[in-house]
């Protein structure tokens, strides 16, 4: 389970790094604009993003993939089993 979590963390860092390298001015503007948003609203946006991400993972786990197991092919068989238990 730790390997999968570290893999997801690494992928998130790579994605953020690519966005920062490609669009530095836009990300700086977005961060400045976010500082004007109330913390309570940011908390709700974060909760929504977490729930949407979990729903996406559950949907992927329940389909099983047409050409193979989506999580098994990526080396995440334990994650698929965990998500199957949650469904």
Verify that 18 and 52 share a domain, yes or no. Answer: no
Verify that 29 and 42 share a domain, yes or no. Answer: no
Verify that 29 and 48 share a domain, yes or no. Answer: no
Verify that 16 and 46 share a domain, yes or no. Answer: no
**What CA–CA distance (Å, rounded) separates 66 from 68?**
6
Verify that 46 and 85 share a domain, yes or no. Answer: yes
Verify that 66 and 53 share a domain, yes or no. Answer: yes
In terms of residue numbers, what domain contains 48? 38-87
**What CA–CA distance (Å, rounded) separates 21 from 9?**
18
- Flag whether pLDDT at 22 surpasses 90: yes
What's the pLDDT at 16?
Answer: 92
- Computed over every residue of the chain, the mean pLDDT equals 80
* Segment 31-53, tens digit of pLDDT: 999 999 999 999 999 999 999 98
**pTM > 0.75:** no
């Amino acid at each position: 389970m730790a390997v999968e979590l570290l893999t997801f963390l690494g992928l998130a860092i790579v994605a953020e790094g690519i966005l920062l390298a490609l669009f530095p001015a836009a990300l700086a503007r977005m961060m400045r604009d976010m500082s004007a948003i109330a913390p309570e609203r940011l908390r709700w946006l974060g909760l929504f993003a977490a729930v949407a991400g979990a729903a996406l993972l559950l949907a992927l786990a329940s389909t099983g993939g047409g050409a193979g197991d989506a999580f098994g092919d990526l080396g995440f068989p334990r994650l698929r089993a965990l998500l199957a238990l949650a469904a």
